[in-house]
Each structure stands twice: as C-alpha cells, then as structure tokens.
Chains A and B, each alone.
Chain A
Amino acid sequence: MSTEIVTAGAAHEPTRRELWKFIKNELRPKGRLLTPFNIISGITILVAIVLLTIRFATGLGSVTNLSQEFPWGLWIGFDVLTGVAFAGGGYVLAFMVYVMRMEKYHPILRVTVLNAFLAYVFYAGALLLDLGRPWHVVNPIIGNSFGLSSVLFLVAWHFMLYMLAALLEFAPAAAEWLGLRRLRKILAAMTLGAVVFGVTLSTLHQSGLGALFMMGKDKIHPLWYSEYIPVLFLVSSVFAGLSMVIFEGSISERVFSQRTSESVRKSRGSILVGLARICAATMFLYLFLKILDVTHARNWGYLFSGMGFWWLMEIVFFVAVPMVFFTMSIRRANLGLIRIAAIMALIGIILNRLNLSFFAYRLDAGVPYLPSWMEVEVTLAVIFAEIWVFRWVINRMPVLSDPPAWAKEQDAAAVARA
C-alpha cells in the first residue's frame, strides 16, 4: 500500500485527459478489501439498503417504532441532533484559526472541517429517512411553502448553506489533490469568507435545533425542558465538537499514521491540551447554565425521583466529571485522561439529545419508545458509510499530510501580497 499522497500534475496544471486518467486511477481501492472492518461495515450497509427500500416503499411504520406520541426517534435524536452537535468542532476550530489567528490548531483544521462536512452530509442527510414525505424537503428552499414561521425554515436553509460553506473551506485540499493550481488559488481566497459565513450559520442552527424542542413544553420532562434550550444547545455544541475532534484525532493517529505529516504528529500533544482547556471552560459554563436553569424554573423538587436521578447521572457523570478530568489533565498534559474525558463528554451529549428526543419525552404516553433493531441497524450503517468516505478522502487528499509545495508557495505569495 502506498503511503505517499499522490496528486495530479506534480509539475504543471494537468490537462483534461491527465486529470481523467488520474481520477480513474484514484477511484480504485487502496489496500486490502477483505478486512474485518470492511466485511462487518459492508454487510451492515447492504442490510440498511434493504431496510431503507422497505421504508421508502411501505412507510416509516414498517421499520421504525415511531408513533403519533413519538414522532422523533433514534434517526432524529442520534443522527441529526447528536451528529450536528458532534460536527460543531468544524465551526469552532475554523473560527479559532482563521478569525482568532490561533495558528497552533492549523494542522488539524482540514481533518476537522472534513469531519464536519461529512457529518452534515450523512447525519443531517439522515433527516430524509425520517421525513414522512421526503420529497417535500425542498419546499422551504424553492418556496412551494417556505414555512417562515417555523424554526425548521431556519434549520433547513442553514443546513444547506453550512454544507456549502464547509465544502468551500475544504475545497482547496481537493484542488491540491487534483493539481488544479488556478482553481486552488480562487478557492483559497474564498476561505475566510466561507469561514465567517459558516460560523454565523452554525451558531444559529446549533441553537435552532434546540429551539425545535420549545414547542414541546407540555411533552418534555421539566428537568430537560427549558426556555434556554437554544443557548444550552449552542454551548454544548462547542465542547461536543471539540471532544469529537479529540476522539477522532486519537483514532486517526493510529489508523492513518502513515498519512500523518510530521507537523501534525509533533503538535498533537500541545493541541490536545489546548482543546481540553476550551472543553473544560465551556463545560463549566454549561454546568452553571444547567444549575441556573433548574433554579430559575424551581425544578429542584423533581431531582428526588427516578427521572431526577437519570438527570443527575447525565449532569454529574457526563458533564461535571469529564469537566474535572479535562481540568486535571491540563496541568500534567495527560493525553490519556483527555481522551477519556472526551469520550465521557460525547456520551453525555448523546444522552442529552436522546433524553430530549424520547427518554424524557411524553412520559405520560404509557408505552415508552424504544428504537427497533432496524433503526439501530440503519444508524450504524450511516456511521459506517461516513467512515468509508472519510477514509477514502484521507487516503487520497492532503488532509493529514502536508499540502504540495506549489500550494505552500501560493499561500506564501498571498501572505506577502496582504
């Protein structure tokens, strides 16, 4: 297996024929096909295709346990709500690097933006699976029925625009891969604009996703319902996204070690400590907002009940404890503890979003919602499909590796001009 990133037109702008030949060559699989991961994920994806065919042919009820009482299940609670929170690292890191000029984090920016872009494509794309009439998804865009009074109008537009912004942010890497110098120059010049646009969109739709739950005041348990859900969603997306960056980085470090440049490898420790610091600070703010919210709504009485203990578990074990772990790990630059804290924080976010979607939703319904095996299977297939595309891109484009020399020269010239 080749360990070098091959780009088209190493010495010159490739001709159309050279480009086509290069792309055809790159489409071929690299490395062994029949690995345990490929076999398990391949079967999972194939089964999901069958299940989704049934779902689109006969309706949601044939594969899901959704009902009139529980319209939002695992596909919304995990794929969309949790997936978008996990993608928050993209906008946070882009803001830190391009706006705050925190160059230390530059080596991991591309992989984070790629992760965010793919998360939106796959997890927000999974929204289509859950829509009763998925072809209506274009209505807020084309104006058949804008739905201006709905939060979903904002979410629909923002998802679409953010995907474009993230694609623009990542596009220079694709242009470098294809050796398209002129296109890369144009795309690189557009990056800052795309970042500012993307950050603005993200702050609004991360909170907008929380705002969707404000209509469910009478249906959500008081410990989870809050008029400040949008703020809580926004703040939690910061540490959720950065915890995902830490978690994903730890896996990439092992799986793509041959693809990783020296600069990424050397700066990894210092980057992780920096990210842990931001996670600790935002989790501290989130914890405070949660306590303030319960106090403001005078919900302390609910804590001494089954759901109260469940809420306490979410807050103590998956917010307060990882916050302490992040804080402790900074002093000793304990990377192992940072990774443990990141995993705990991610579990906390999953719990929080699932609690809002169904565990703490319509407790009066009698029969609780639990996802069917088919919903779980499709969710796993979405995750595997994203990993396949992520791996394909990492193995080909300069994401973890250094960009080609001509791209560095372009950047240096742009800086000199500025």
Chain B
Amino acid sequence: MDDFHFVDIYASKGIEYLLVIGFLIVLVFAWRYLNRPPQSERG
C-alpha cells in the first residue's frame, strides 16, 4: 500500500487533470471571444 500516493498531485496526475479542466474552461471563453464579429462589422 505504501506505493500509492493519492495525495501527491504529480503521482496521481492530478495536476494534469487540473490543467485539462482549466484548458476546457478557458476554451469556452476563448471560443466565444474569437467568434465575435470584428468591431467594424458590428458598427
């Protein structure tokens, strides 16, 4: 049982999951921002 490191964010790849979740959240806002029409088209 000593081989398990559930509290180690690196060993459990928790940091990678957090990064992916963070990326997906930022992606929603980035997508909305990128798809806004240019100011000249909005008048």
Q: Taking CB as reference atom, which chain B residue is nearest A326?
A: B34
A298's nearest neighbour on chain B, judged by CB, is B10
In the complex, the chain B residue whose C-beta lies closest to that of A281 is B34
Chain A 319-356 near chain B by CB (<8 Å), digits 1 or 0 = 00000000100111100000000000000000000000
Which A residues touch B40, using CB under 8 A?
A: 332-333
Cross-interface CB contact of B36 among A280, A281, A291, A331, cutoff 8 Å: A331
Q: A133 CB to closest chain B CB, in angstroms?
A: 44
The majority secondary structure among interface residues of chain B is helix
Indicate if A292 sits at the interface (CB-CB under 8 A): yes
Q: A136: shortest Cβ distance to chain B, in Å?
A: 43
Q: Are B30 and A295 in contact (CB under 8 A)?
A: no
Contacts of A284 in B (CB 8 A): 27, 30
Interface size class of A (residues with CB under 8 A): 10 to 19
- B27: chain A residues within 8 A (beta carbon): 284
Judging by beta carbons under 8 Å apart, are B33 and A327 in contact?
A: yes
Query: Residue of A at shortest CB range from B33?
Result: A327
Residue of B10, B20, B23, B38 near A331 (CB, 8 A) is B38
Q: Which residue of B20, B27, B31, B34 has the most chain A CB atoms within 10 A of its CB atom?
A: B34
Note all chain B residues with C-beta closer than 8 A to A292: 16, 19-20, 23
Within 281-314 of A, Cβ neighbours of B (below 8 Å) are at 281, 284, 288, 291-292, 295-296, 298
B15 engages A295 (CB within 8 Å) = yes
- Residues of A close to B15: CB separation below 8 A: 295
A284-B27 Cα distance, complex, nearest whole Å: 9
Q: Does A362 contact B (CB under 8 A)?
A: no
Given A331-B38, A333-B39, A333-B40, CB of A296 within 8 Å of CB of B16: yes
* Any B CB within 8 A of the CB of A273: yes
Query: Do A330 and B34 touch (CB < 8 A)?
Result: yes
Q: Which of A298, A327, A332 contacts B34 (CB 8 A)?
A: A327
Q: Give the most central of B10, B19, B38, B41: most A CB within 10 Å.
A: B38
Instruction: Give chain B's interface residues, CB within 8 Å of chain A.
Output: 10, 13, 15-16, 19-20, 23, 27, 30-31, 33-36, 38-41
A residues in contact (CB < 8 Å) with B: 273, 277, 280-281, 284, 288, 291-292, 295-296, 298, 327, 330-333
Since A280-B30, A327-B34, A331-B39 are in contact, a sample of 18 more A-B pairs with Cβ atoms closer than 8 Å, ordered by chain A residue number, is A280-B34, A281-B30, A281-B34, A284-B27, A288-B19, A291-B19, A292-B16, A292-B19, A295-B15, A296-B16, A298-B10, A327-B33, A330-B34, A330-B38, A333-B38, A333-B39, A333-B40, A333-B41
Listed by A's residue number, 22 A-B pairs whose Cβ atoms lie within 8 Å are A277-B34, A280-B34, A288-B19, A288-B23, A291-B19, A292-B19, A292-B20, A292-B23, A295-B16, A295-B19, A327-B30, A327-B34, A330-B34, A331-B38, A331-B39, A332-B38, A332-B39, A332-B40, A333-B38, A333-B39, A333-B40, A333-B41
